[in-house]
Structure 1
Amino acid sequence: MTVIDISAFIGRLATCSGETILPFFRTSLTIDNKGRSDFDPVTEADRAAEAVMRRLIKESFPQHGVVGEEFGNENTDAEYVWVLDPIDGTKSFIAGFPIWGTLIALTHRGVPVYGMMNQPYIGERFAGDNKAASYRGPSGERKLGVRRCAGLQDAVLFTTSPRLMNDADRATFGRVESQVRLTRYGGDCYCYAMLAAGQIDLVIETELKPYDVSALIPIIIGAGGIITTWEGGPAYQGGRIIAASDPRVHEAALKLLNS
């Protein structure tokens, strides 16, 4: 497959999943709770969108594997595996806020090589292939690039919610939060898209699954940013994740996270 083939097919997945999701948005939804103790919602829109994408992948690339949030894993030993999160930010989705997105990644031998975050309600797409990243939306098309930030004292930090962290991680996160210029909560995948777009400097989260982050890695790297675990390792298996716009901010935050 060429980059053009991948880009075109992921665009098709984004279009079809978006067309499936939008009729559900800001309507009365049946909401199930997947969580055992915490509220972890899933809707008909999540399931329908993932089913559409899985069907298209099987029709076009039957030899490929699929990892999805709603319907599990298939053929994960394949050379190429698709990693899907039909609605990242379901809590925002059910509340009617448009800070959710569909995450679509293609991995090669386990490593994400192309990713897209699609927000069909606003009409925005953020995509990357580890070498470059791009934006397409109502304002047109452009190359994505992170902004430079000299240190934590100048940084804007995002996390979806500190309440999603355990007590120890929340305290560790607080050490970084106390050093930055501004902290905001919420956003899920949109935080990472805004980092790639040069709007913010740092995203720190915990307990992410591979489908939460795989699509975002090529976008961040392609835009010139850094995304690792808190220990500085590869991020594609999920876990405790830090994304930064500038190596100086990444290094400073890692020191606090591991002090």
Structure 2
Amino acid sequence: MNPRLEAALAIAKEAGQLTLEYFNKPGLQVEMKQDSSPVTLADTGSEALIRTRIGEQFPGDGMVGEEFGEQLGTSDYVWTIDPIDGTKSFIHGVPLYGVLIAVEDVAGPLIGVVHLPALGETVYAIRDGGAFWERADGDVVPAKVRTTTELTRMSLILTSGFEWATPTMREAFIRGDTMVRTWGDAYAWLLLATGRADAMIDHGIMEYDIAPLRVIIPEAGGAMTVWTPEGRDDLAAVVSTKGLHDTMLSRFKA
């Protein structure tokens, strides 16, 4: 196994174990950041641990994380860290949050890991090496996106409600030709990559929210489009089966 992939998997699981020490426990302190998003000791502790482990094993690599920003490196590798993707779920005791780690090199996205500590599932990939799903029972199997091509057979996941949607998007939802659920955050990515959902639309996201997917989704046989909506400085993404992707973009990209 690639040494950075092996390290990313081990580090994500160790950080995930740290988050479980805080998860669904009484007295969890929640603070609000300048962007009005919540943060806990689990978030900062997880990222601090991840950075420490990367520095111990790959001291020349750069890092970018949600909580502690950018640390420049001297090698050709940069790690992107989301210590808890789904902090709002985490603080409410919802087990759909995840630890996200990605690595890129001079050729682009190289490694992606999405680990869900409370569910015991992990999906990971390395460029040109395939995508894999480590299930809760410990078995590791190939991660494969579905081959769905028809909207009437599609299951669509949203991070939240429809307040962000354009009129065209709302019309598409109201038609009722898709099954829509709001299993957001890291869990949605894992469902899509392992063939348990067909498409996801996410909005108001940053690169650390999606960096692992830039490797995992194509290696699992899916398609992903990321863009900056007009008038915003954050990102939006449509991720789906290849057969649905063009239709999804025509309906939902704005």
Q: TM-score, normalised by structure 1?
A: 0.87
Aligned to 1:171: 167
- Change in Cα spacing, 1:154 to 1:21, as seen in structure 2 (3 Å) is same
Aligned to 1:242: 238
CA drift at 1:187: 2.1
- Asked whether 1:82 is paired with 2:76, we answer no
Aligned to 1:128: 125
Q: Deviations over 1:211-257 (max 9, x none)?
A: 000012211111100011258xxxxx971100011x23111111123
- Asked whether 1:103 is paired with 2:100, we answer yes
CA drift at 1:129: 1.6
- Change in Cα spacing, 1:244 to 1:88, as seen in structure 2 (3 Å) is same
Q: Deviations over 1:116-173 (max 9, x none)?
A: 11112221111012431111122322111111112222211111113673xxx44343
The code of the aligned residue for 2:245 comes to H
The code of the aligned residue for 1:242 comes to V
Give the aligned length: 246
Measure, in 1, the Cα distance between the counterparts of 2:187 and 2:195.
12
Q: TM-score, normalised by structure 2?
A: 0.89
For the residue of structure 2 that corresponds to 1:162, the secondary structure is coil
For the residue of structure 1 that corresponds to 2:47, the secondary structure is helix
Which of 91, 94, 97 in structure 1 is aligned with 2:91? 94
Identity %: 32
The code of the aligned residue for 1:33 comes to M
Q: Deviations over 1:48-91 (max 9, x none)?
A: 01000101111111111100000011116852100000100001
- Asked whether 1:206 is paired with 2:203, we answer yes
Q: Which runs of 5+ in 1 are unaligned?
A: 232-236
Q: Which runs of 5+ in 2 are unaligned?
A: none
- Change in Cα spacing, 1:241 to 1:81, as seen in structure 2 (3 Å) is same
| 8 Å CA contact 2:60, 2:74 repeated in 1 | no
Measure, in 2, the Cα distance between the counterparts of 1:95 and 1:22.
13
| 8 Å CA contact 1:67, 1:76 repeated in 2 | no
Counterpart mapping for 1:126-205 below 5 A: 126-131=123-128, 132-139=130-137, 140-162=139-161, 165=164, 169-178=165-174, 180-205=177-202
Measure, in 1, the Cα distance between the counterparts of 2:234 and 2:135.
28
CA drift at 1:32: 0.5
Please say which of residues 98-107 and 198-207 is displaced more in the overlay: 198-207
CA drift at 1:22: 1.1
Which of 1, 6, 12 in structure 2 is aligned with 1:8? 6
Please say which of residues 205-214 and 12-21 is displaced more in the overlay: 12-21
- Asked whether 1:72 is paired with 2:69, we answer yes
Measure, in 2, the Cα distance between the counterparts of 1:53 and 1:100.
17
Aligned to 2:247: 252
Please say which of residues 155-164 and 47-56 is displaced more in the overlay: 155-164
Measure, in 2, the Cα distance between the counterparts of 1:55 and 1:44.
16
Measure, in 2, the Cα distance between the counterparts of 1:248 and 1:145.
14
| 8 Å CA contact 1:66, 1:81 repeated in 2 | yes
Measure, in 2, the Cα distance between the counterparts of 1:226 and 1:178.
25
Q: CA RMSD in A?
A: 2.2
